Structure 1
């Protein structure tokens, strides 16, 4: 599907025309996403000099952060729809030190994916986690592996939500035919922030524990009835290998949890084996 994205940039001196891209917003219809750099230090130094104090640069960062938070607050909930025209109006009004670029198109399966693709394309973030970039690459490669198999595409759900009661978690790929046969999620362990990774995995594992006990539903949006997820569904955790001792430690912890939940742990280099297994599962029905 076609999404539009806008790059948000910091422009300290409009006359000189220097700027730093610091965030993206992407969306279409009711599906929107926002992503910003993890550290504004690079932006705050633009146009400055060695004589600038840390406190002064920090004030610049805070000023930029306030403006970014104002934009992020516009990303809609189910009760607050956002339209392309709303963002265009905002772009016209934002003509100070933080500005929006003109809209550009990108092909993606969700607003989150569109924002991630635009972020990787348009933003240089020296403090960003390597793992995000590697995860996007693996997700795109696995998606392509499914899409070149016409017999599977009609059964493939991308960027879905696995729900048990009021609890839910994201699922990168699911293969369905009357019910869910296979679910796969990509995890990147080549990251700096292993604490955040640990938190995300723990939340995912908690939901999987509920699924193994009671089954659940796969939905495109929260509140929908969706497709049944049986307790015995095949679940895959696709991983990019760690490159630090902290990542190694987190990987070992994750593997232990996945083993207890009956999750298949598959290296990103072998991820296309998931597609072959999906075909086998469908043929067996």
Structure 2
């Protein structure tokens, strides 16, 4: 499917025309995602003057941060009704040091994948780019494994929304046949700044806690094709291994929560086990 993406740029002096890409917005219709750099130092140093002090650099960073927050809050405040017109209006209004580029097309399955692809292509961010690339690679590898299995492929749904009441979270893969038998989500811990990752995991775990109590429902992002999720559904957390202390600490916290929720914690190198288990679950279901 075609999505559009807009690059968020730091432009300290429009006359010089120099800029640094610091984030992306990607979406189409009612499916939108936002990515931003974790470290603004590269943007703050644009110009390379050796006389800039740390405090002055910090003030520049704060100005950029303020611009990014306005983008993020606008997306969050209007998420249910956000559309291309909203982004174009935002682009018109953002004419200070943080600006939006013209839209460009990208082919992807969801806005999250579109944002990941655009981010990897357009952004230099030593803290975050590794995580986005590794997560995208694992998601694509799992997708290919499901698609190569003729018994599973028609039962697999990608990038769905799991919900309990008004609470929702994303699901990378769901295996279903009347009900949902298996859900799998990919997490990348090879990142220096774990703030955004921690928030995502907390929200995902909260929804799983509700689901374990009451069951839930699974639907496409458009809200169609709703399938029930039983309380005892198999849930997999597929992870890429952390490569630093911050990632290791966050992984231990996440693993503890997943174990309490009955989540299978699977390294990305063993993701093939998910395919085997999905086959077994469907076979057991067909015999009952």
Cα root mean square deviation, aligned: 2.9
Corresponding residue for 2:264? Answer: 264
TM-score w.r.t. length of structure 2: 0.84
The answer on whether the counterparts of 1:217 and 1:225 sit within 8 Å (CA) in structure 2 is no
Secondary structure of the 1:169 match is strand
Corresponding residue for 1:77? Answer: 78
User: In the TM superposition, what whole-angstrom CA distance separates every residue of 1:51-109 from its partner, at most 9, and x where no partner exists?
Assistant: 123333333323333333333344263553322x4534554565553333222211222
Corresponding residue for 2:146? Answer: 146
Secondary structure of the 2:277 match is helix
Corresponding residue for 1:176? Answer: 176
What is the rounded CA distance, in whole Å, between the counterparts of 2:111 and 2:100 in structure 1? Answer: 17
Q: Deviation of residue 151 (structure 1)?
A: 4.4
What is the rounded CA distance, in whole Å, between the counterparts of 1:249 and 1:64 in structure 2? Answer: 29
Q: Deviation of residue 252 (structure 1)?
A: 4.1
What residue ranges of structure 2 are gaps of 5+ in the alignment? none
Q: Figure out how many residues of one structure are paired with residues of the other and give that number.
A: 284
Corresponding residue for 2:275? Answer: 275
Q: Deviation of residue 180 (structure 1)?
A: 0.2
Secondary structure of the 2:81 match is coil
What is the rounded CA distance, in whole Å, between the counterparts of 1:201 and 1:88 in structure 2? Answer: 31
1:165 aligned onto 2:174: no
The answer on whether the counterparts of 1:258 and 1:265 sit within 8 Å (CA) in structure 2 is yes
1:189 aligned onto 2:160: no
Q: How does 1:8-19 map to 2 (within 5 A)?
A: 8-19=8-19
Is the alpha carbon distance of 1:252 and 1:148 closer, same or farther for their aligned partners in structure 2, counting shifts above 3 Å? same
User: In the TM superposition, what whole-angstrom CA distance separates every residue of 1:122-162 from its partner, at most 9, and x where no partner exists?
Assistant: 10013437434322321222123223345433322222222
Q: Deviation of residue 50 (structure 1)?
A: 0.8
What is the rounded CA distance, in whole Å, between the counterparts of 1:16 and 1:239 in structure 2? Answer: 43
What is the rounded CA distance, in whole Å, between the counterparts of 1:86 and 1:232 in structure 2? Answer: 40
Corresponding residue for 2:28? Answer: 28
Corresponding residue for 1:64? Answer: 64
Q: Deviation of residue 222 (structure 1)?
A: 9.1
1:46 aligned onto 2:46: yes
Is the alpha carbon distance of 1:253 and 1:39 closer, same or farther for their aligned partners in structure 2, counting shifts above 3 Å? closer
Structure with a larger share of its residues in helix: 2
Q: Deviation of residue 179 (structure 1)?
A: 0.6
Deviates more, 1:169-178 or 1:138-147: 138-147
Secondary structure of the 1:24 match is strand
TM-score w.r.t. length of structure 1: 0.84
Deviates more, 1:165-174 or 1:111-120: 165-174
What residue ranges of structure 1 are gaps of 5+ in the alignment? none
The answer on whether the counterparts of 1:74 and 1:82 sit within 8 Å (CA) in structure 2 is no
Q: Deviation of residue 253 (structure 1)?
A: 4.4
The answer on whether the counterparts of 1:22 and 1:123 sit within 8 Å (CA) in structure 2 is yes
User: In the TM superposition, what whole-angstrom CA distance separates every residue of 1:7-41 from its partner, at most 9, and x where no partner exists?
Assistant: 12122344544221111111111222222212222
The answer on whether the counterparts of 2:242 and 2:248 sit within 8 Å (CA) in structure 1 is yes
Q: Deviation of residue 182 (structure 1)?
A: 0.5
What is the rounded CA distance, in whole Å, between the counterparts of 2:40 and 2:255 in structure 1? Answer: 34
Secondary structure of the 2:152 match is helix
